[in-house]
Amino acid sequence: MARTRVGIVGAGPAGLLLSYLLHAEGIDAVVLEARDREYVEQRVRAGVCEHPTVELLRDLGLAGRLDAEGLPHHGFSLRFDGTDHRIALTELTGKSITVYGQQEIVKDLLAAHDAKGLPVEFEVSDVELHGLDTDRPRIGYRDRDGVARELDCDVVAGCDGFHGISRPSIPIDRRTIFDRSYPFAWLGVLARTPPSHEELIYTHHERGFALHSMRTPEITRLYLQVAGNERIEDWSDDRIWTELQLRLATDAEFELREGPMLDKGITPMRSFVTEPMRYGRLFLAGDAAHIVPPTGAKGMNLAVADVRVLSRALTELLLHNRSELAESYSDTCLRRVWRAEHFSWYMTSMLHVDPAADEFGRRLQLSQLRYTASSAAAATSLAENYVGLPFT
Ligand code: RFL
Ligand code: PHB
């Protein structure tokens, strides 16, 4: 049986960053990933890195390409009633965010693993966790050739996302779930066309929410609110552009540039938290423990915040035999998680069209948008959450 100190399930941002942080402390770890490397490197997901995430990547020497190619943003627009209302992030908070694709961070982390010879095993299957309530947990799995393997660990880190096996490995009577689903989804597209505006535009329109974002000076990322049960096959490129043109139309000079679509997909919207984020020697981090609707751009940033706390807790536990930080891991993370849950729910509720809302609800929503756009206090509150609250 192979042995490592920390067995990490999942090579997303959470698992790879944790492995890297542990290595920096001299703790060996093995990352096991279900998909192949190309899939993990190409998966189009998050785009917004909050200020504390960028600072952490810089401190670790992982931000070379992010600093060269990432797009710093000092504000974004709330667009409603056909008009833009700028939220001046940097003026209000002194901080900015960086638009840099999640898969680029994953590529950078994998390159850093290659450079240091840190083990990441792709295409594993049948992953099972055993002995989590002992101090010698084990991970059973099949390697890419289908050979049954076991990895003997001191600790298991469940970084395998929302659909992984780590969370369900916790006995059902030892976890509590907090859950909310929304009656809509996001249709996301990546288009080969320069952004139509230098900043992100979060649009509230009677036909539904729309978001103008970007990846590079040549690539635009766009999202549309659609019904929860929509199928991507029913959305031709033409239909998507027509809907985006309608929702993003303004009084001012603005032209939405169209171009060939490189990727499109539908993502359901959900808020979900499991508590606690630990069971015995299993620690959950990132989407394995919680998800947020993407409107607040918080999911990946929370995954980063979790593993920062976890790497410190595991360093204390495994190198100094002190368990206080491991004991408080879940509570420490959940404070930030619930702040992000609230912020993501608030942004989602303020900007989307709820098909079940009545006239009273619609007027409250418009009032909230107008207040946020016109009050420095309200805009500052939004901005400080958006750029990311400091790590504690
Ligand atoms: P991930 O990235 O899902 O990685 C989990 C990894 O585990 C693997 N896996 C397994 N491996 C081994 N054995 C098993 N049994 C396994 N089961 C699963 C998976 O293949 C995968 O590689 O989770 P992690 O690391 O916690 O990272 C979380 C983020 O990916 C997620 O929160 C963000 O993408 C959310 N998100 C956004 N977050 C932001 O911070 N800013 C944004 O702007 C933002 N926009 C978004 C988003 C997510 C979106 N979608 C598609 C869900 C926009 C969208 C549309
Ligand atoms: C993105 O560019 O993918 C993006 C930006 C802002 C969000 C969500 C996603 O709130």
Coil, helix or strand for 243?
helix
Same domain, 245 and 284: no
Q: Say yes or no to pLDDT of 46 above 90.
A: no
Average confidence (pLDDT) over 128-155 = 98
Q: Which of 50, 89, 105, 213 to mutate to test the pocket of ligand 2 (most atoms within 8 A of CB)?
A: 213
The values of phi and psi at residue 49, to 5°, are -100, 120
Same domain, 321 and 382: no
pLDDT at 214: 96
Q: Give the HSE-up count for residue 314: Cα atoms under 13 Å, Cβ half-sphere.
A: 33
Q: Quote the number of domains for the chain.
A: 2
- Residue 6 to residue 360: CA distance in whole angstroms: 53
CATH number of the domain to which 211 belongs = 3.30.9.10
Nearest to 305 by CA among 8, 14, 110: 14
Local confidence band at 1 (pLDDT 50, 70, 90 cut-offs)? confident
Nearest to 120 by CA among 83, 159, 155: 159
Coil, helix or strand for 183?
strand
Average confidence (pLDDT) over 138-163 = 98
- Residue 45 to residue 231: CA distance in whole angstroms: 19
Same domain, 149 and 41: yes
pLDDT in tens, 183-242: 999 999 999 999 999 999 999 999 999 999 999 999 999 999 999 999 999 999 999 999
Locate the ligand 1 atom nearest the alpha carbon of residue 223 and give its number: 55
Query: If you measure from the C-alpha of residue 20 to the centroid of ligand 1, how many angstroms do you get, rounded to a whole number?
Result: 18
pLDDT in tens, 111-122: 999 999 999 999
Query: If you measure from the C-alpha of residue 193 to the centroid of ligand 2, how many angstroms do you get, rounded to a whole number?
Result: 17
- Residue 344 to residue 117: CA distance in whole angstroms: 37
pLDDT at 331: 98
Would 309 be classed as within a structural domain?
A: yes
Nearest to 60 by CA among 91, 93, 17, 27: 17
Q: What percentage of the chain has pLDDT greater than the value 70?
A: 100
- Would you tell me how many other CB atoms lie within 10 Å of the CB of residue 369? 20
Nearest to 12 by CA among 152, 107, 117, 144: 107
Would 137 be classed as within a structural domain?
A: yes
Same domain, 241 and 340: no
Q: Say yes or no to pLDDT of 305 above 90.
A: yes
Q: Say yes or no to pLDDT of 44 above 90.
A: no
pTM here is 0.97
- Residue 340 to residue 347: CA distance in whole angstroms: 10
DSSP assignment of 327-385 equals HHHHHHHHHHHHHHHHHHHHHHHHHS--TT--HHHHHHHHHHHHHHHH-HHHHHHHHHH
Instruction: Give residues (CB < 6 A) around ligand 1.
Output: 9-15, 32-35, 40, 45-48, 102, 124, 127, 159-161, 164-165, 186, 188, 267, 286-287, 294, 297-301, 303
Average confidence (pLDDT) over 42-48 = 90
Same domain, 215 and 263: yes
Whose Cα sits closest to atom 7 in ligand 2? 297
- Would you tell me how many other CB atoms lie within 10 Å of the CB of residue 171? 11
Whole domain around residue 209: which residue ranges?
182-269+355-387
283 touches 156 (CB < 8 A) = yes
Same domain, 41 and 107: yes
Same domain, 31 and 158: yes
Alpha-helical runs (H) found in the chain: 13-24, 37-42, 51-59, 64-69, 89-93, 102-116, 237-248, 299-320, 324-351, 359-374, 376-387
What is the rounded average pLDDT for all residues in the chain? 97
Same domain, 247 and 338: no
The values of phi and psi at residue 214, to 5°, are -160, 170
pLDDT at 167: 98
pLDDT at 106: 97
CATH number of the domain to which 296 belongs = 3.50.50.60
Would 170 be classed as within a structural domain?
A: yes
Local confidence band at 143 (pLDDT 50, 70, 90 cut-offs)? very high
Catalytic residues, by residue number, are: 73, 202, 294, 298, 386
pLDDT in tens, 152-180: 999 999 999 999 999 999 999 999 999 99
Q: Say yes or no to pLDDT of 316 above 90.
A: yes
59 touches 69 (CB < 8 A) = no
Average confidence (pLDDT) over 89-95 = 98
Same domain, 333 and 203: no
pLDDT in tens, 241-279: 999 999 999 988 899 999 999 999 999 999 999 999 999
The values of phi and psi at residue 105, to 5°, are -65, -40
- Residue 298 to residue 385: CA distance in whole angstroms: 9
Same domain, 170 and 206: no
Same domain, 50 and 166: yes
Q: Which of 186, 212, 221, 382 to mutate to test the pocket of ligand 2 (most atoms within 8 A of CB)?
A: 221
